[in-house]
Copies of this chain bind each other. A is one copy, B any other.
Amino acid sequence: MTNEFDADTAVDAVGMGSYRGTVTDRWSVAGRPNGGYLMAIALRAMGHATRHPDPMTMTAHFLRSPSPGPVDVDVDVLRAGRTVSTAQAALGRGGREFVRAIAAFGDLEAAEGPTVVDLKPPGLPVREDCVPIPGDGLMPDGSAATIMARFDVRAAPDAVGWVIGRPSVRSEMSGWVRFRDGREPDLLALVQMLDAFPPAVLAAGHPGSVPTIELTAHLRAHPAPGWLRYVSRTRALIDGYLEEEAELWDSEDRLVAQARQFARLAGAGEG
């Protein structure tokens, strides 16, 4: 395990349903470990505890933000069925819980049934015409985002105009993404990548931060190697609460992941 993602999401079994991992400071935004990163650690532990190989749907509630350091993941397998297994994970430290998650696992390769996809990959400009997000982790507001040193993100120009004071008319974020160190995507990485871009609502020029309350990811297919295309949209911002839905498409034009989150737009300075 020489790549950053596998190293930083690794867990060790320390007892029946008990795992231990380490939250590093390499996947943070403004000092807070990214939610998708915490989900990946929890999912890694759940995957050890369940019989089916592939996470298919995972919901995480973000209770508190951990500082970097060791974390415990306690996993309960709620059901071990023929086609689906369901597990719950509590990620915390010293009895203080940071993330509670539930996930259902299956075997996507063995799935049989009709395929009808009434969605298209986002119409992104070629990568040369997109905006590379600097890997030095310096954000427009001066805070540090170490996560940008892990991901090579090329944002669609429309999605990042807000950074220079030219917001988009829509709350939509899109771009290309892959790991900088060349690790190819898999289902676990998709969970992390679904949370790698800035919130879509920022594209429309709303100031502030967007703490996620709940995020649900659907993993739909094993991704092909190469770049992924990402798009997210917020269509309903109501009294400061919002939904954001996101899609990831692989290099073979297949929809590989979908997500929807419920979050709060915290006013600028409110934190």
Contacts and interface: CB of A to CB of B under 8 A. Distances in A.
A86 B63 contact: yes
Contacts of A113: 237, 239-241, 264-265, 267
A115 interface: yes
Interface stretch (A30-38, A129-137, A146-154, A215-223): A215-223
A260 B216 contact: yes
A171 interface: yes
B61 A238 contact: no
A97 B262 CA distance: 27
Nearest to A258: B243
Nearest to A172: B118
A11 to B, nearest CB: 21
Contacts of A213: 56-57, 84, 104
Nearest to A100: B78
Contact of A115 (B79, B97, B100, B239): B239
A216 B218 contact: no
A93 to B, nearest CB: 15
A112 B240 contact: yes
Contacts of A267: 113
Contacts of A57: 213-214, 262
Interface in A247-267: 255, 258, 260, 262, 264-265, 267
Contacts of A220: 236, 238, 241
Interface of A: 56-57, 59, 61, 63-64, 78-79, 83-84, 86, 88, 97, 100, 102, 104, 106, 108, 111-119, 170-171, 204, 206, 213-214, 216, 218, 220-221, 234-241, 243, 245, 255, 258, 260, 262, 264-265, 267
